[in-house]
Amino acid sequence: MDVLKNPVPRLLNKAHHNIDVSKISDGANFVIRTLKSSGYDAFLVGGCVRDLILQNDPNDFDVVTNAKPNEIIKIFGRQSRPIGKRFKLVHVRSKDEVTEVSTFRRMPRRIKSDKNFRKRLKGDNEFGSISEDVFRRDFTINALYFDIDQKVVIDYVGGFYDLTDRKISCIGNPFERFEEDPMRILRAIRFATTLKLSMKNISLAEFSRCGGLLSNLSAARLFYELEKMFLRGSAAVVFNELVGLNLIHFLFPILDRNNMEDPVYKRSLDTIKIALQITDERVKMGQSANLAFLCAVILWSALKIEIQNLRCQITDESLIFDIAAENIISNQIKTIAIPRRVSNIMREIWKIQSVFENPTRRDANRLLQNRRLRAGYNFFVLRSKTEDYLTDTVDWWRKFFVVAKKMNKLPFPESQTYRL
């Protein structure tokens, strides 16, 4: 059955969805009620509805309305800010919370002979109704609307039942959805792994067929998605899935399968997986996770090889590290726009590895003042799991930290260091 020809929604009340409305943020409530009091329709939509149905706490709340962007801005005034080039969205600030508000849009008109669909799509951005808006969305589980007054879930495409059956399904033809926005490939993998869903109408062959589309994504959008994939408690399983589907090199080109024949890269893959598992454990315990640390781990093998190559070209050892780090980061940001605040931390973690590798008591005491001491040491301990020659040096540092702790010089609890 073609869902596009049956725009009749199922209205699911409290008896079906069991949504706890107390989990809806004050900001989202404020935005919806203000829009409704101004004469417009407004609903929660997308991931927040999905998470509420699953009894999870949403990370953020999105609102959709029939008010156009200029009308939304007129209503909220200085509390609002327009964003986006392709699609005009509005961010509305209420106290310390920002709620994203979009306007109902309709599906673009697809021309079968048009081989450059994505380029043409940029100019096709028309407002529509809720029954048209639903078919612009990526997956059925993200195409659910919630009316906070009636406490009703509005479902046009069977997303509620896909969710209860633990399945993820594209709306319409998967290749067309991925072609419209290749980010949906990564989102499908993230949702399937983090929410423990099986693929309904998306085959492994579909991922292989569409993988090349990822190279069309902007580096900035990929960084934003990377944060979601790696900092929400399921980084290890997402990474393994990307490796298994041969898609990881679209994010980190150095992890291309051809490079994996190099022993250095093979060892690094094990280190990366350990780092991701530890990150997941920290997130699940409510502790902080650092994307800079993970990126430093992922790119470490490339940095080591780059340093080796530069030693054949540059005689001044003091220049080699800075040039190598700059080369590796410059190449990576062509794919993922790692911001300077992140890349600077990566450099600092990398740079102090030489002190950890060849410690003297004088250098170790100086390092106690370094703000990246804990991250750098944990990075060093991780390396020791695949670089056996570092094991004895890790023991030296542990003994040094015991002494530093007794002298009240250790700037962090010893429990925050890795013991693998």
- CATH 3.30.460.10 for domain 1-165: yes
Q: Which of the residues are catalytic?
A: 60, 62, 138
For the stretch 174-184, pLDDT in tens is 888 898 899 99
Bigger pLDDT: 96 or 416?
A: 96
pLDDT number for residue 168? 94
404 vs 206: CA distance, rounded Å: 55
Q: Is 258 exposed, middle or buried (0-12, 13-18, 19+ CB in 10 A)?
A: exposed
Question: Has residue 6 got a pLDDT over 60?
Answer: no
- Which range has the worst mean pLDDT, 144-158, 248-262, 337-351? 248-262
- DSSP strands (E only) in 144-202: 144-147, 152-155, 167-168, 198-199
Residues of the chain with CATH 3.30.460.10: 1-165
pLDDT for the residue 111:
47
pLDDT tens-digit series, residues 288-343: 899 999 999 999 999 999 999 999 999 888 899 999 999 999 999 999 999 999 99
Instruction: Tell me what the pLDDT averaged over the chain comes to.
Output: 89
Give the residue range(s) of CATH 1.10.3090.10 domains in the chain.
253-416
Q: Give pTM, 2 decimals.
A: 0.85
Which pLDDT band holds residue 120 (cuts at 50, 70, 90)?
very low
Contacts of residue 49, defined as CB under 8 A and 6 or more positions apart, other chains included, come to: 144, 145, 146, 153
* CATH-assigned architecture of domain 253-416: Orthogonal Bundle (1.10)
Q: Please give the backbone phi and psi of residue 102, each rounded to the nearest 5 degrees, phi first.
A: -120, 165
- Segment 382-412, tens digit of pLDDT: 999 888 899 999 999 999 999 999 999 888 8
Confidence class for position 124, pLDDT limits 50, 70, 90: low
